[in-house]
Amino acid sequence: MKFKSILSLFAAGALLAACNNRVSVSDTGLKYQIHDQKGDGRKPKIGDILTVQLVLKNSRDSVLRDTYKEGRPLQVMLQTPPFKGSFEEGLAMLAKGDSASFFVSADSLFTRMMQPLPPGIAKGTDIQFTVKVLEVQNEQEFQKGQAAAREGQIKVDAKIIDAYVAKNSLKTVETPSGLNYVIVKEGDGVKPVAGNMVSVHYVGKLLDGKEFDSSYKNPQSGGKPVDFPIGQGMVIPGWEEGIMNMKKGGKSTFIIPSSLAYGEAGSPGTIPPNSVLVFDVELVDVKNAPKQQ
């Protein structure tokens, strides 16, 4: 798994209610407020992975990012502070269960990122990072926990899919990966193989029927099918497997477990974490991929 650097978290913050705590200043000039410090939690070392809730706010108190609202905390690897007064320096002060706000110079942060100040961030102001540390793990512990969570989610998804299939009286084909699909119309053309270019119409829905994407309504493509090479990792695994079980001209409904879709990350604002998805798919065309020049 790739870990986000603290600097990159800005581009992607979490907010605890701001307390009227006294603002302290470290020897390096980092301004901070401690909201909750238990004193007995595990403290992180460089290279440890922290699971945190984080809110970023600008100097006008506008929220730039809020992982509470996103429904999923962040995992970040603690790195050596890249400059004096950085957020990494503040994060290293905390232990599991602690929470605090850190006020980091926007000029220093974006100079380090080699980026200009974005709209809404004024020169000479601070960016407020309000963080609550939920967990501290070394990389081995983190990977073990991730593997256990994935296994558990696979079992949860299987029960959800079984219930959905039974509720809707569907006759599905289930693959070893956990993908379920219904053949709505058997195609009379060829089956695509890895490397072929496919042309596909689709409608994507959550299990409650809410539509989140559709090729028919895509203004960028003018409602035309989408084209992509199959078997090249260009789409989610559930699509790759499902489409290669179809024939040109066929229509199928895929019921895709989260492990073969967008996983624990989901798609913020569109697809919640660990969502089982339903896709109505039509395989419009299958072509050999163009030869490389």
How many Å apart are CA 201 and CA 282, to the nearest integer?
Answer: 5
The full 3-state SS of the chain, as one line of letters, equals: CCCECHHHHHHCCCCCCCCCCCCEECCCCCEEEEEECCCCCCCCCCCCEEEEEEEEECCCCCEEEEHHHHCCCEEEECCCCCCCCCHHHHHCCCCCCCEEEEEEEHHHHHHHCCCCCCCCCCCCCEEEEEEEEEEEECHHHHHHHHHHHHHHHHHHHHHHHHHHHHHCCCCCEECCCCCEEEEEECCCCCCCCCCCEEEEEEEEEECCCCEEEECCCCCCCCCCCEEEECCCCCCCHHHHHHHCCCCCCCEEEEEECHHHCCCCCCECCCECCCCCEEEEEEEEEEECCCCCC
Which listed residue (154, 160, 183, 236) is catalytic?
A: 236
Which listed residue (202, 243, 256, 271) is catalytic?
A: 202
Which listed residue (87, 110, 129, 279) is catalytic?
A: 279
Which listed residue (3, 68, 83, 212) is catalytic?
A: 212
| 279 is an active site residue | yes
Cβ atoms within 10 Å of 124's Cβ, excluding its own: 9
Q: Which residues of 137-149 are buried (b: 16+ CB within 10 A; e: fewer)?
A: beeeebeeeeeee
| 10 is an active site residue | no
| 157 is an active site residue | no
Give residue 110's identity as a one-letter amino acid code.
F
| 68 is an active site residue | no
Which listed residue (66, 213, 280, 285) is catalytic?
A: 213
- Alpha-carbon distance values, 85 to 80, 103, 112 (Å): 12, 8, 12
| 32 is an active site residue | no
| 254 is an active site residue | no
Residues with catalytic function: 202, 212-213, 236, 262, 279
